[in-house]
Amino acid sequence: MAAFIQRLFKSRKATPASAPKNSTPKAAEASQQEAQNERQLLRESQENQLRNNPPQPELAQLAIDGVTAAIRLEAANGLQQEELLQQVLKQAKGRDKGVYQAIKQSLQTVKDQQAAETAVQQRIEALITQVQDQARSEDTKLYEARLDAAQESWRSVEASASAEQAGQFLAAVHDCRERLKAPPGAGPPENRDPGTAPADPDRPANCLRRRPAFGLGPGRPAENPGKPLAGGHP
């Protein structure tokens, strides 16, 4: 009997005490709460970063690593540099559909703007060439009407022209205006003698030649040669 009781006590001592049932769930809950707090702080930090108009590289980073979909999408919509748009497009593919679609649309907008700017520059160069050719042309048909039309077209692209382009256009217009002032058949400005001025149509023709001094023209006799001078002899 004594031996049985002794074995019973030994078996009880060998059995380890069971851990409290609630210890593991409490630890997991604490860890989860800590992660939520960190996420909340990071979200607030990123939202504040967006409000401060960050540079393009930071927007690209937020478009990929933003804590929430709203942060990533707002950052993506703020991107404008084509190189960064291409980078974010590659990283967002298959990961974030909203960011991918937004970046794809932005890239199309950039391409459309570039095409429009190229078309404007081509129009500027075409107008400069047109007026320069008109200033050198012998064709005077509808000369002033064509020049006025070119100037009207220039006004629509003038804001996009460089200082050099504007100077070239204005110089060509000046040459055309000088051509309009010249007498018929005078030709382009570069073909005329720079020392001669166009005739004034309002000035009488007999005023264009200078009359020689009285009685001093070569080979011309003095008027009334037989009339004696005052105090002299015939």
* pLDDT reported for residue 215: 46
Q: Please name which of 219, 112, 175, 202 lies closest in space to residue 120, comparing C-alpha atoms.
A: 112
Sequential pLDDT tens for the chain (234 residues): 555 445 544 555 555 555 555 557 777 787 888 888 899 999 999 999 999 999 999 999 999 999 999 999 999 999 999 999 999 999 999 999 999 999 999 999 999 999 999 999 999 999 999 999 999 998 888 999 999 999 999 999 999 999 999 999 999 999 999 988 877 655 555 555 444 444 444 444 443 444 444 444 444 444 454 445 444 444
Contact 168, 127 (CB under 8 A): no
Does the pTM surpass 0.85? The reply is no
**pLDDT of the residue at 198:** 45
Q: What is the pLDDT of residue 123?
A: 98
- Alpha-helical (H) ranges within the chain are 2-14, 23-51, 56-65, 69-77, 82-92, 97-136, 143-155, 163-181
Q: How far is the C-alpha of 195 from the C-alpha of 179, rounded, in Å? A: 15
Domain ranges (residues) in the chain: 116-184
Check if the beta carbon of residue 174 is closer than 8 Å to that of residue 137: no
pLDDT at 85: 97
